[in-house]
Structure 1
Amino acid sequence: MLDAVLSLTVLAAILLIIGAFFMWRRTGNLKNAVLMVLLAAVALVNVAIWTLPDASGSAPIEKVDRGAGE
């Protein structure tokens, strides 16, 4: 289930970046476009935090998949 959430987060970040570009080109509203890109960056950093392994070689998503009891 968490894999689907992370996948949707990446897709949303990509769409935010594309939407920010089109908003900037059509309306010239730079402030909102930059905020959309910033939101996409935060989402991608969160996905990276969940998926990249730490020094011991295990990613946080693996710990969630195994269950909290172990």
Structure 2
Amino acid sequence: MMNAVLSLLVLAVLILPLLALTMWRRGARQQAVLMVVLALVAAVNVGIWTLPDAAGNAPAGQVPQ
């Protein structure tokens, strides 16, 4: 289940900036900026969950199945 969630977050990180560019061109500047911020927050969350610590253990690998 955790793999599916992380996969969806990565897809969101890839798609949100493209949608933000579209919103920016239409004149919805605030929504575009918020979408970019959301993409950055999602990217940081994916990094937190997948990058290993000094001992080599990633938090995503320690979640019970």
TM-score by length of 1: 0.84
* Greater relative CO, 1 or 2 (CA 8 Å, sep 6+): 2
Rg comparison, structure with higher value = 1
Gaps of 5+ in 2: none
After TM superposition, the runs of 4+ consecutive aligned structure 1 residues lying more than 4 A away are none
CA RMSD of aligned residues (A): 1.4
Gaps of 5+ in 1: none
- Equivalent pairs, count: 65
Per-residue deviation at 1:29? 2.0
After superposition, where does 1:1-70 map in structure 2 within 5 Å? 1-25=1-25, 27-64=26-63, 67=64
d(CA) in 1 for partners of 2:12 and 2:56? 28
Sequence identity (%): 59
TM-score by length of 2: 0.90
